[in-house]
Structure formats: structure tokens, C-alpha cells
């Protein structure tokens, strides 16, 4: 695949005029997909695809476009020629771009991980065994994901990774289900069995009569999957330089020094621990780590090349959207096995959904509990809870009301497959929080 990409880059180079430069972004995958319902295989397939995006540049004018490739050079060469011709025509009608910035210093890299994925048939057999006698619903996706960058200055970057992601539920009835994920680079039967055992315990608890609690403030445990979504809402302008400089970030009060999070809260864009490539679409290299929040205080922003040009600061390899692609919330010192004992009486929140800002300037979010959320009493799960709405600010959840973060973290991969398998991930612990506000 890498040799094919290099040949494609040379082909693009051969079509350039003397006053032109280019950047190109290549993405490919070879993925197996298996869908389950009632613990039966309902759909299975394999996807192989290759996509190429080219930005054709002359001075401060540029035009970009993308298309799919077949993998056969004789078929792909005329496709590339047509794309370049159309971009050249389009560029002639575009104004100069004052914020155009792309890498001109050649920094070629290569990271290719070896595949440690299980045979798809073996993984499916383990999954069906785990769901025997239960209504298991979910999707298993696995395979190689490849990214490449090339430009007219001779820079070549290549990244390859092989991952699996099993996003699944044990369904009980109505709105009651136990949802969990298992993802990574290597299938570990003991780890999968641990997740299945815990899901079975929760499924058994769902058979008890559901309880409704009154609106109010409760001590809650946010499982990693719940914290994944709650912290993920910060992707909407939380960490980008553009949103900070225009004062549209939900972390504005933190930036201006009015509030802090708990000293144990450390959040980073940890490319070295994720599955995203270590370079971005304009050719800038991403450091292994960018510290965003340190000891509860704001530290750095994600800076795209366009923001770097606009505000006169160095870029740190962020994407155009300036969102984390490999977000990590550092662990605490609460052993996960002691979570129920430490919670004692309160609510175990397994998942949340329908998240949105209710007061963006105060980083206040609203959402609903979902699937397996339980009332805990005497350090034991007593009953499932009916769906409740919450309305709470991250400055309280991860600030004054944070009791502790778990010592263990879950690597949760974005299950999105729109256009292609996502390479976004979050490495998150669970969080024990006091005075968590339920409103309805």
C-alpha cells in the first residue's frame, strides 16, 4: 500500500506546472464488519477503499478536491489527471487565501504497526459464545487503516495501524440494556471475559423493577463510557486556538482564570497513545503529546496551520477543525474494584446520550442517562433507574465536586464509519462525582 501511495504522489508531481505546488492526503482501509442481533450474525462484509485529496496551490490561491481510487495504477492515473485539471480551472476563479499555510520543510516519517488482530472467524465465535442465551446486539469492525501525506517538496509521511472495535449491548427490554465496548490492537480473551462478566451482572440487575428518583443532587459514578461522551462535548470549540481567540470556547472562564478544575484533572492530546496518524493534512507533524489541561488549569491549545497563520503563532499539528483526535484524561488513584464501595449510596451511570450545551459560556451541559444506570445502596446495585435528565457544568463535575478518578482507563475508539472508519479515540477513566444535578 505504501509503495502504491508513493507512485500516486509521483504521478501528481508529474502534472504540476512550474508555478504550482501541491499537498495530498491519502486514506485507505481494509475492514471486516459483522453485525449481530439476538446473538445471530445478520450482516457480514469486507470493505476495501482508497481515497485521495489534493490541494493544488499557486501563490496564495489554492483549490482542493478528492476522489476515490481503485488501486490499479492504469485506472487511477487518468482519474488523477482529471482531478488536477478541474482544480486548476476552479483555482483561477478563487481569491487569494491570506491564511494559507502548509509545510515546506521536509519531515518525512513512517509508522507502520504490525497486525496482532485475531482471525475474524475466531473473534466472532468468542462473541457468539459470550452472547449465548442472551439478546446480544452490536457491530464488530476490524482491520488495517492507512494514512499518507505527500507534497511537491518531496515530503512523504506514512502511517498504518490495525485495530478492532466491538460496540455491543445485552438487550433486556424497552429502554433497558447494558451497553459496552471492547477495542484495541490485540484481542485479549481475559479482558473480553471481564467485560462480559460485568455486563452479565448488570443485565441481571436490569430484571429487577425499575426505580425513579426525584430531581435533585446525587453522588454518582460516571463509568468511562459516560465520561467519554461528557468530555467529548469539549470537542466543540473547547481546545482550539480559534475558539479561544474569538472567545467562543466553553472553557472561557477557565482561560480567563475565573475557575479551575480539580488539581487531579490532566487532559492531553496524546497522539502517541491513540490510533490517529502523527501528521495532518497540510504536512505538519504532531507531537506525541500536547497538554491541554494540567493540574486543573488551562495549559495549551490545539493550533491548526490556518490559525497559526492568522494569529502569528506556531502550529502544533492540529487538524483544520482543531479538535482532539487522541484525547486522554489521565487516571487517578481510585481502584475500579472499589468504585461501588466508595460510592456507597448513589447512582451508577453507565452511559449518557443526547448531550448538548445548556449554557455554553459556563460549560454547562445537559443530557440523559441511558441503558444501564443503577441505584446503588450499601455499596451494592439495588435496582435499575428509569431515564433521567441531568444538567451540570464540567467545572463542577471535574472541579469542586470531583471525588476521584479511577486508576484504570478504557481505550474507547470512535465507532463511526461515515465515509471510512474513524481514527478518533479517547483514553478515559471513570469519575466519582458529588452533588450531580438531575433535573427531570
Q: What is the spatial distance between Cα 315 and Cα 304, in angstroms, rounded to a whole number?
A: 6
Which set of grid coordinates corresponds to residue 174? Answer: 424497552
Could you tell me the pLDDT band of residue 174, with boundaries at 50, 70 and 90?
Answer: confident
With CA atoms as reference, report the closest residue to 415 among 169, 124, 80, 223: 169
∠ at Cα 287 (162, 320), nearest 5°? 85
Average pLDDT, the chain: 95
Give dist(CA 136, CA 127) in Å, integer.
Answer: 9
d(CA 64, CA 388): 46
Q: What is the C-alpha separation between 225 and 209, in angstroms, rounded?
A: 24
Could you list the beta-strand ranges (E) of 13-134: 21-37, 40-58, 61-69, 109-112
> Cell 482531478 appears where?
83
Cα–Cα dist 291/329, whole Å: 10
For the packed helices 120-130 and 189-206, what is the interaxial angle rounded to 10 degrees?
30
The SS3 assignment for 97 reads coil
Round to whole Å and give the CA distance between 437 and 279. 40
Q: Which of 13, 24, 6 is nearest to 103 (CA)?
A: 24
Percent of the chain with pLDDT over 70: 100
d(CA 354, CA 365): 10
Q: Please state, as a whole number, how many other Cβ atoms lie within 10 Å of the Cβ of residue 365.
A: 23
Q: What is the mean pLDDT of residues 67-86?
A: 96
pLDDT digits (tens, 9 = 90+) for 86-129: 999 999 999 999 999 999 999 999 998 888 998 889 999 999 99
* Spatial CB neighbours of 353, under 8 Å, sequence gap ≥ 6: 229, 367, 368, 370
Q: What is the pLDDT of residues 42-67, one digit of tens each?
A: 999 999 999 999 999 999 999 999 99
Domains and CATH numbers, the chain: 2-205 (3.30.2290.10), 208-438 (no CATH)
Q: What is the pTM of this model?
A: 0.94
Burial class (CB in 10 A: 0-12, 13-18, 19+), 304: buried
For helices 73-91 and 2-14, give the axis angle rounded to 10 degrees: 40
Strand 380-384 vs strand 364-377: parallel, antiparallel, or unpaired?
Answer: antiparallel
The DSSP symbol for 418 reads S
What pLDDT shows up at residue 114?
A: 84
pLDDT in tens, 277-318: 999 999 999 999 999 999 999 999 999 999 999 999 999 999
User: What residues are paired with 237 via a beta bridge?
Assistant: none
β-strand pairing of 109-112 with 156-173: parallel
The yes-or-no verdict on residue 376 having pLDDT over 90 is yes
Question: What b-and-e string marks burial along 37-53, b requiring 16 or more CB atoms within 10 Å of the CB?
Answer: eebeeeeeeeeebbebe
Residue 371 confidence (pLDDT):
82
Phi-psi region of 296 (alpha: psi -120 to 50; beta: other; left: phi over 0): left
In this prediction, residues 217-237 reach a mean pLDDT of 95
Q: What does the pLDDT look like over 412-427, one tens digit per residue? A: 999 998 889 999 999 9
For the cut 90, the answer to whether the pLDDT of residue 176 exceeds it is: no
Amino acid at each position: 500500500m505504501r509503495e502504491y501511495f508513493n507512485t500516486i504522489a509521483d504521478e501528481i508531481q508529474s502534472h504540476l506546472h512550474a508555478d504550482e505546488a501541491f499537498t495530498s492526503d491519502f486514506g485507505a482501509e481494509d475492514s471486516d464488519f459483522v453485525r449481530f442481533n439476538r446473538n445471530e450474525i445478520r450482516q457480514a462484509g469486507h470493505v476495501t477503499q482508497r481515497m485521495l485529496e489534493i490541494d493544488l496551490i499557486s501563490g496564495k490561491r489554492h483549490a482542493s478536491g478528492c476522489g476515490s481510487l481503485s488501486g490499479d495504477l492504469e485506472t487511477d492515473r487518468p482519474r488523477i489527471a482529471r482531478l488536477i485539471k478541474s482544480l486548476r480551472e476552479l483555482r483561477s476563479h478563487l481569491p487569494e487565501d491570506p491564511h494559507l499555510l502548509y509545510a515546506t520543510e521536509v519531515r518525512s516519517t513512517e509508522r507502520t504497526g504490525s497486525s496482532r488482530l485475531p482471525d475474524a472467524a475466531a473473534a466472532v465465535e468468542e462473541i457468539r459464545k459470550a452472547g449465548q442465551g442472551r439478546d446480544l446486539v452490536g457491530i464488530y469492525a476490524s482491520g488495517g487503516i492507512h494514512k499518507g501525506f505527500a507534497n511537491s517538496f518531496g515530503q512523504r509521511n506514512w502511517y498504518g495501524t490495525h485495530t478492532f472495535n466491538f460496540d455491543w449491548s445485552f438487550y433486556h427490554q424497552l429502554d433497558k440494556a447494558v451497553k459496552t465496548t471492547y477495542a484495541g490492537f490485540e484481542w485479549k480473551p481475559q479482558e473480553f471475559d471481564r467485560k462480559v462478566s460485568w455486563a452479565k451482572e448488570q443485565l441481571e440487575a436490569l430484571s429487577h423493577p425499575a426505580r425513579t428518583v426525584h430531581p435533585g443532587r446525587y453522588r454518582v459514578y460516571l463509568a468511562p463510557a459516560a465520561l467519554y461522551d461528557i468530555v467529548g462535548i469539549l470537542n466543540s470549540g473547547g481546545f482550539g486556538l480559534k475558539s479561544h481567540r474569538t472567545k467562543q470556547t466553553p472553557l472561557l472562564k477557565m482561560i480567563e482564570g475565573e475557575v479551575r478544575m480539580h488539581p487531579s484533572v490532566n487532559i492531553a492530546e496524546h497522539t502517541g497513545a491513540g490510533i490517529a496518524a502523527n501528521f495532518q493534512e497540510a504536512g505538519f507533524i504532531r507531537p506525541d503529546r500536547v497538554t491541554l489541561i494540567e493540574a486543573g488549569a488551562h495549559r495549551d491549545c490545539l493550533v491548526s496551520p490556518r490559525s497559526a497563520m492568522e494569529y502569528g503563532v506556531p502550529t502544533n499539528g492540529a487538524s483544520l477543525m482543531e479538535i482532539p483526535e487522541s484525547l486522554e484524561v489521565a487516571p487517578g488513584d481510585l481502584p475500579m474494584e472499589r468504585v461501588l464501595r466508595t460510592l456507597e449510596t448513589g447512582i451508577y451511570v453507565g452511559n449518557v446520550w443526547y448531550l448538548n450545551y445548556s449554557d455554553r459560556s459556563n460549560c454547562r451541559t445537559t443530557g440523559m442517562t441511558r441503558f444501564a444506570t443503577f441505584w446503588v445502596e450499601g455499596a451494592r446495585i439495588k435496582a435499575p433507574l428509569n431515564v433521567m435528565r441531568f444538567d451540570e457544568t464540567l467545572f463542577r463535575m471535574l472541579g469542586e465536586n470531583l471525588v476521584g478518578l479511577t486508576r484504570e482507563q478504557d481505550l474507547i475508539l470512535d465507532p463511526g464509519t461515515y465515509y471510512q472508519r474513524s481514527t478518533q479515540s479517547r483514553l478515559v477513566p471513570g469519575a466519582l462525582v458529588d452533588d450531580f444535578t438531575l433535573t427531570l
